[in-house]
Amino acid sequence: MEALSRLIIGKESKNPEKRNIIWNMVGSFLYALASMVLTIAVVQIAGEDAGGIFTFAFTTFGQHMFMMAYFGIRPFQITDMGNKYSFGEYLGLRLLTCGAALLVGLVYVFINDYAFEKAATVFLMVVYKVIDALADTYEAEFQRSGRLYLTGKSNAFRTVLSVSVFLGVLSGTKNLVTASMAAVAAQTAGFLVFDVFVIRQLPNIDWKSVPGKKLSLFKDNTLLFFSAVLDFYVFSASKYAIEDCMADKDLAVYGAIFMPTSVINLVAGFVIRPYLTKLSLNWERGRVKQFVKIIGRLAGIIAALAVLAVGGAWLLGIPVLSLLYPNLGYALKNCREALVLIIAGGALNAYMNLFYYSLVIMKKQRFIFGVYGIVGILAVVISTPFVRWGGIFGGALAYVILTAALMAFFGIIVLWGIFEKVRKGR
């Protein structure tokens, strides 16, 4: 196993930044592609109702439990260039949050009195996502130590392994629960091989945990945690409303038109992630012009991608989705406007993520939480009424309104933070 770990780590590169960017792109692409492949495959292999159940379990509630286990720590960890906290302290806190997410997932399944297939699938996908969140702690440490390529490798190899096992078992058994159990086993194996064993071969990883430091880390990240949970609630509020007000097959349709948003955020992630350490260093050293220049460059790239995505969605979106989801073609024909709205919302969400990371670097967690609190209340108020009024189109409209609100608030606070930094620097 040690030999395999060293093979994954590889030799020193003459161009480490290029290697980091390439593997980050590969890993992020496969990780995002997994959601699309899995939701399409479940609909085709197991039917529309099973597709709706899996969409809710994997991309909605399971992802919400991922956010709970994630605790909003990653942005803080990868920008902790002064090593205020050790890897052992980050890992110790993440183990606690992962345990809490499993407990909440179990309680949620019991209190909703789902049928066995839905209850088992939802909980198993919670387990799958919690393991993913635990792996994220290791991958954040890879990035913090300048080895983003290992993060990309882990994402790529774990995703290929677990998705392949899931699809193989589902094709053979046509049983969603059995396939989900197999996916959890594969995810566990991938986590051990590509994260746990690999990090033990790296130098300068601090495993120590000073008494009281985990509590301090918890306090530093509490607002980011609540912000992360609220973020995903805002992102998924329309899905929850459709799951509550409409049938499982309608949720499968909504999941199909929602899926392309991951492409925009995927590409935005390609662009943003490699620059986070540079943004953090420029801000900490008072290089405001360089910080603004990077933000502007990233914003311009996202804008170009957004124009292409919205135009492509209007012209080709429904025909392409109908090919990918032949069982849903009849329902997708009336969803062009909803698809375009969701794609536009995905573009706004990409901007929101850029501004979110900027605010974390600026150490403005209180403002992040305040914005999410306001928009979270708005999500509660508008999501279900919009779905009852307009069905899938109403859900899409609610989504774009919520992402626009987040983007606008965060953008204004980023500008204020920049002006404040410049004024203090004079």
Q: Is there a contact between 137 and 94 (Cβ–Cβ < 8 Å)?
A: yes
Residue 228 lies in a domain: no
Identify whether 259 is part of a domain.
Answer: yes
Residue 232 lies in a domain: no
Q: How confident is the model at residue 56 (pLDDT cuts 50, 70, 90)?
A: confident
Question: Would the pLDDT of 412 be above 60?
Answer: yes
Nearest to 73 by CA among 187, 213, 228: 228
Query: Does one domain contain both 182 and 71?
Result: yes
Same domain, 198 and 276: no
Structure tokens at 88: 């052992």
Co-location of 193 and 257 in the same domain = no
Contact 279, 53 (CB under 8 A): no
Asked whether the beta carbons of 251 and 240 are under 8 A apart, the reply is no
Closest by Cα among 97, 76, 186, 215 to 141: 76
| Domain-located, residue 241 | no
Tell me how far apart the alpha carbons of residues 88 and 111 are, in angstroms, rounded to a whole number.
Answer: 35
Higher-confidence residue of 319 and 94: namely 94
Tokens of 396: 């899409």
Quote helix, strand, coil % in the chain, to nearest 5: 85, 0, 15
Residue 91 has pLDDT above 60, yes or no: yes
Reading the block at residue 126, the tokens are 């919670």
DSSP letter at 246?
S
The pLDDT score that the predictor gives to residue 83 is 82
Do 126 and 204 share a domain, yes or no?
A: yes
Lowest-pLDDT choice from 10-19, 30-39, 127-136: 10-19
Q: Which domain holds residue 18?
A: 1-210
Among the three residues 152, 183, 210, which one is the final residue of a domain in this structure? 210
Same-domain status, 172 and 320:
no
Structural domain includes residue 161: yes
Q: Tokens standing for 116?
A: 């066995």
Q: Which of 59, 77, 217 is nearest to 145 (CA)?
A: 77
Read off the amino acid at residue 194: F
Pick the last residue of a domain from 186, 210, 234. Answer: 210
163, 271: one domain: no
Question: What's the rounded mean pLDDT across residues 314-332?
Answer: 76
* pLDDT confidence bin for 45, thresholds 50/70/90: confident
Q: What CA dihedral angle connects 379, 393, 60 and 137, to 10 degrees?
A: -70
pLDDT recorded at residue 266: 67
Same domain, 105 and 34: yes
Q: Are residues 62 and 203 in the same domain?
A: yes
Handedness of CA 45, 47, 53, 58 (dihedral sign): positive
Residue 19 CA to residue 17 CA, distance in Å, equals: 5
Total domains in the chain come to 2
Please answer whether residues 130 and 101 qualify as being in contact, where contact means their C-beta atoms are separated by less than 8 angstroms: yes
Q: What is the pLDDT averaged over residues 213-224?
A: 84
Q: Return the number of other C-beta atoms located less than 10 Å from residue 284's C-beta.
A: 14
Regarding whether 206 and 276 lie in a shared domain, the answer is no
Residue 426, pLDDT > 60, answer no
The enclosing H or E element of 36 equals helix 16-46
Question: The whole model's pTM is what?
Answer: 0.75
Return the pLDDT at 329. 66
**What distances in angstroms separate CA 277 from CA 91, 203, 316, one per listed residue?**
20, 20, 37
Average pLDDT, the chain: 85
Pick from 209, 181, 222, 223: nearest CA to 89:
209
Q: Is the pLDDT of residue 144 over 80?
A: yes
- Our separate counts of H helices and E strands in the chain read 19, 0
What is each CA distance from 46 to 166, 190, 263, 303, in whole angstroms? 13, 26, 25, 38
Pair (181, 294) in one structural domain: no
Structure confidence at residue 313 (pLDDT): 79
Do the domain assignments include residue 412? yes
- Mean of the pLDDT values across residues 330-348? 84
Say yes or no: 259 and 204 in one domain: no
Q: Look at residue 392 and tell me if it is in a domain.
A: yes
Give residue 189's Cα distance to chain centre: 21
Within a domain: 172: yes
12-26, 225-239, 378-392: range with highest mean pLDDT: 378-392
Q: Are residues 287 and 196 in the same domain?
A: no
Residue that finishes a domain, picked among 210, 231, 257: 210
Write down how long the chain is: 426
